[in-house]
A and B are shown apart, each in its own frame.
Chain A
């Protein structure tokens, strides 16, 4: 009996590992869009994985993917908070400096527009639009009601539009 439970636990953990493994590419994508900085993004992903592996003994079934997004979202929020508490060390927040590797100007526009968003709105928008999570899943990841997720989405979209509407003419004039 005990050995059967142990065997079940073993296979549960193996599946847990596998689900983590499968999620890595999407986590990297999300982290990159969230931070707009390749190095920072991969550091976040690594921290997320280490945390997940460290707490695998706490895992007893459930949605691994949503859990990983939750860890990453929280880690990034904590990172931004600690940056905010450290004034003037870096005059420009590193994550808000768009990386210059954008394939085309359009890419850099959307990058700047995302950078101008409040963190929670940015995360909500990216989780829905880029990662394809349902409103319900995003509500769980962010620990808020679905209504809050929807208003974050609406505000994010409105701000991006306002940003792009304001940005484009300026760019045209520069050229």
Chain B
């Protein structure tokens, strides 16, 4: 028995109606239908179903496309949706206690995306530096684990500066929700108990030089390098903070290969 003569299956009948039948089986199906009226009736029924569906719905595709489907307008609304989401996040942090602090900054009128990071970092600093028993999730004693864990969560290889030369010991770190994704937070402590924190999170903000910001009893130096935002926060002593931030910056910089110039 050749392919041409083998019995026709129900699957083949469907495939025949839908134009999916193999070319070398078409003749066999047609011969089969001529000899089997019940199957021929099935095929006719399926075709009339298809015709009814086309008769009912086919014309919709010929209607003029309503203006609501204008892609330009939809793209704009998609963008404004994104902007609105970002603005909502930003607003939450601004309202969350840094409004007064914002007033110090020259950029208060037009908060940049980056302000959300610094606001978040200063908030975290304020909350955790006063914590006595649980300032961190993973202690500095488990440094390799801490680095590995947070690198995995932030999806890039974190550099955790050694600040011993500046008189600061790594207390440890924790994972924090950042404004646009996970953030890593490291705490350092000096001999007299003063605490500094480094907050880092990935960002698409452009590269920046180091900047300074003061907020009542605290202050921060912050910058963006290679797609990562760094915020070093500490007590209001600006010179001391700059010295710590510079040390952190130098190490991050030194350890980062192929740093573009800026």
Docked CA distance A153–B16 (Å): 13
B57 CB contact (under 8 Å) in A24, A50, A130, A150: A130
Docked CA distance A25–B64 (Å): 8
The segment from B66-74, B146-154, B165-173 that touches chain A is B66-74
Instruction: Tell whether B23 is near chain A: CB-to-CB under 8 Å.
Output: no
- The residue on A at minimum CB distance from B72 is A17
A28 touches B61 (CB 8 A): yes
Q: Which residues of B contact A26 (CB under 8 A)?
A: 61
Q: How far is the CB of B40 from chain A (nearest CB, A)?
A: 15
Instruction: Tell whether A33 is near chain B: CB-to-CB under 8 Å.
Output: yes
B52 touches A32 (CB 8 A): no
B78 touches A25 (CB 8 A): no
Q: Which residues of A contact B18 (CB under 8 A)?
A: 128-129, 135, 153
- Knowing A21-B71, A28-B60, A29-B58, the reply to whether A106 touches B52 (Cβ < 8 A) is yes
Instruction: Tell whether A134 is near chain B: CB-to-CB under 8 Å.
Output: yes
Q: Which residues of A contact B15 (CB under 8 A)?
A: 135, 150
Q: Which residues of B contact A75 (CB under 8 A)?
A: none
A selection of 22 A-B contacts at a CB cut-off of 8 Å is A24-B65, A25-B62, A25-B63, A26-B61, A28-B60, A28-B65, A29-B60, A32-B57, A42-B66, A45-B69, A49-B74, A53-B74, A54-B78, A110-B49, A110-B55, A110-B56, A128-B18, A130-B54, A130-B57, A150-B15, A154-B11, A157-B45
B14 CB contact (under 8 Å) in A20, A21, A29, A153: A153
Size category of the binding interface on chain B: 20 to 34
A161 touches B49 (CB 8 A): yes
Q: How far is the CB of A73 from chain B (nearest CB, A)?
A: 16
B55 touches A106 (CB 8 A): yes
Number of interface residues of A (CB under 8 A): 38
Docked CA distance A20–B69 (Å): 11
A20 touches B71 (CB 8 A): yes
Instruction: Tell whether B77 is near chain A: CB-to-CB under 8 Å.
Output: yes
Instruction: Tell whether A102 is near chain B: CB-to-CB under 8 Å.
Output: yes
Q: Which residues of B contact A130 (CB under 8 A)?
A: 53-54, 57-58
